[in-house]
Structure 1
Amino acid sequence: MNQAGVNEKYKVSPFYVFFLLHSMQTGLGVLNFQRDLAKATGTDGWISILLAGLIVHILIWLIYKMIFSIVPGDIISANNHALGKWIGNFFSLLFILYFFALGMTIIIGYINVIHVWMFEEVPSWAFALVFLVLIYYIISGGFRTITGIAFLSVVVSYWLLFVPLYGFKYADFTSFLPIFDHTLIEIMKGTRSTSLSMLGFEMILMFYPFIKNPETSQKYAHGGALATTLLLLLLYFVSTVFYSQKQLVLTLWPTLSLTSIIELPFIQRFEYITVSWWNIVIITNMVIPLWAASRGVKRLFNVQQKYPLWVMSKIIILVNIFFFDVDSLYVLNKIINPYSVAFLVLYLPLLLVLISIKKWRNRL
């Protein structure tokens, strides 16, 4: 049993880090990232995606470098090691709040998609209740169960990748021009617009102790981030040549709208299949952040994980009953997208520096 209190029998093979990270990144943002990206950078959005992918790879390297300095451990161990118990616990609480807010944003966002495309009259709390029961059941099965769900969500859902490719039938490839037509500031704004699609890599900070021989898993983490980057590049290219730039800016859910052009003899609305199947994709996005948040509370306050999970579930239900609307989703996205990315980009390098300094002083 290691410093974070994880028995060997609860660990998973390093290979599964690819699926954990890629499934966490492939979620709600994939459905609509093109719109905000087109507003910021137009046809140069691919540069922003590549830059965002590069930043993620650098942060993954920082995470592994940081955790290797205090092997074994997680973000709570790292915070306490670098900042002491009280200040470290304060920053650990910030991470817990972030994990919870991210999970809640994804749940509310997907419920909004269901309302817009399928069941407008069904109250949001009813969907939230169903999701939370499923989430509690999966988390209760332990981290190996969560890993299995992440693996299946990737394997059984990649056929959806061929659906947007149908848009090439109506593509106008001149819509992808001109390129290199935007300033560096606009490119950076576009990079920020892709943040919700790229978030998820930071969950390594919590599930690192659950990996067997974790030092060998870094290549799989980079592989998962690379797969996400390539997926976003493909979807943005298809969307750019299918829509005009004005259409892309005005289309709320470009990926889903793209699937609505498919017509089959046995089904009139193919996007119903896409939205329904996306539940398999996005359930990992809901489970892992809430697992990380409840796991963090367990580590900080030495309570059973089910108790903070109950409290978080009740808060999400109450938010869906009293505050759910498009504006609340907009506010949550505005909080998660820029501030969480800025927090991670600034805090993780600082934490690495503090750990390195402390390690150097201990050698003296």
Structure 2
Amino acid sequence: EVVRIWFFPAASRLTLMLFLLVPSVYMVSKGLRVVALFDGFMYLIMALLALVPLHGIIDGNILFLRPVLQVTIGKLTSGALKSGVSFLGFELLLFFYPEILGKKRLFLTGAGSIAMATFFYVGAFIAAIALFGPVQPAHLTYPLLEISRTISLPIVERVDLLFGGLWVTAITTTISGFLIGLVKAVETRFHVRNRISLTVISIVTVIASLITGSFAEAEALADMIGIVGLAVGVVFPAVLLPVAWLRKGAIKKWHQSK
């Protein structure tokens, strides 16, 4: 939706989805090493994106933040539930699969990445209010792009286009990360070859993108998929765990009786 509104308003959803998906599919087809190398390169670009909220905080009016300080703690933490579901859905799964090596390091890395993303979005929220006032950000669809329009550099004439281009490129890392995770999961669970699972998942992704007509619909679909994934990945194994313990105890007693 962002790419269509800001860059290609006349393009169809299918064209834009293929534009974003094809590079990710290509990288995933080359293996985890290529995806990791591209993600490492993108970290340098993401550092540039982090400077956009910083500009708003520095050049904004700090008095605009007074209404935010008067908001109750309940409203400030209203998004904690979705963050918690995301945390449970990815990082805590490591504890349910003991064959994974380096669980502690992966857990700390995942928690650190969530913390960095949280600080980034909180910074963007503060920057938007400091620049545009406490009321205007509610009417801005994409505050970061609006903030980038207020930046003037002697070298780059249109900072918003540079920011948008880098942001669109960064989307590829998210798509490729989810793709390779799904491919490996399907390959392990159903014992199919990499290219077959990648092809099927890519087709399903394109179909899902065509079903949703707006960002709100896509978010609702993602929430439903997230609930199903949480039930399958966390609730279902948690229910089976005591059953496995009881079964293990029964089998042990049976062997002892023999």
Range into which the TM-score falls when normalised by the shorter chain: 0.7 to 0.9
Unmatched 5+ stretches in structure 2:
253-258
Work out the CA distance in 2 between the residues paired with 1:214 and 1:195.
20
Work out the CA distance in 2 between the residues paired with 1:319 and 1:223.
30
What is aligned with 1:71?
Answer: none
Superposed CA RMSD in Å reads 3.5
In the superposition, relative to structure 1, how do residues 215 and 170 fare at CA in structure 2: closer, same or farther (>3 Å)? Answer: closer
The worse-fitting range, judged by mean Cα deviation, of 342-351 and 136-145 is: 342-351
1:361 CA drift (Å)? 6.1
Aligned match for 1:325, one of 213, 217, 229: 213
Q: 2:112 matched to 1:223?
A: yes
Find the residue that maps to 1:330 and give its secondary structure: helix
Q: Which amino acid aligns with 1:181?
A: V
What is aligned with 1:282?
Answer: 171
Q: Which amino acid aligns with 2:71?
A: D
Work out the CA distance in 1 between the residues paired with 2:232 and 2:191.
29
What is aligned with 2:125?
Answer: 236
Find the residue that maps to 1:157 and give its secondary structure: helix
Find the residue that maps to 1:293 and give its secondary structure: helix
In the superposition, relative to structure 1, how do residues 190 and 203 fare at CA in structure 2: closer, same or farther (>3 Å)? Answer: closer
Q: 2:3 matched to 1:114?
A: yes
- Structure 1 residues 191-231: Cα deviation after superposition (integer angstroms, max 9, x where no partner): 35x649x947744548x899754444333232222222222
What is aligned with 2:146?
Answer: 257
1:351 CA drift (Å)? 3.6
Contact kept, 8 Å, 2:65 with 2:134, in 1: the verdict is no
Q: Which amino acid aligns with 1:120?
A: P
Contact kept, 8 Å, 1:298 with 1:304, in 2: the verdict is yes
Q: 2:21 matched to 1:132?
A: yes
What is aligned with 2:72?
Answer: 182
In the superposition, relative to structure 1, how do residues 201 and 140 fare at CA in structure 2: closer, same or farther (>3 Å)? Answer: farther
Q: Which amino acid aligns with 2:110?
A: A
1:167 CA drift (Å)? 1.6
In the superposition, relative to structure 1, how do residues 128 and 338 fare at CA in structure 2: closer, same or farther (>3 Å)? Answer: closer
Higher relative contact order (CA 8 A, sep 6+): 1
TM-score, length basis structure 1: 0.57
Work out the CA distance in 2 between the residues paired with 1:123 and 1:255.
24
What is aligned with 1:335?
Answer: 221
Work out the CA distance in 2 between the residues paired with 1:132 and 1:227.
26
Work out the CA distance in 1 between the residues paired with 2:171 and 2:183.
19
Unmatched 5+ stretches in structure 1:
1-111
1:249 CA drift (Å)? 0.9
Work out the CA distance in 2 between the residues paired with 1:257 and 1:280.
18
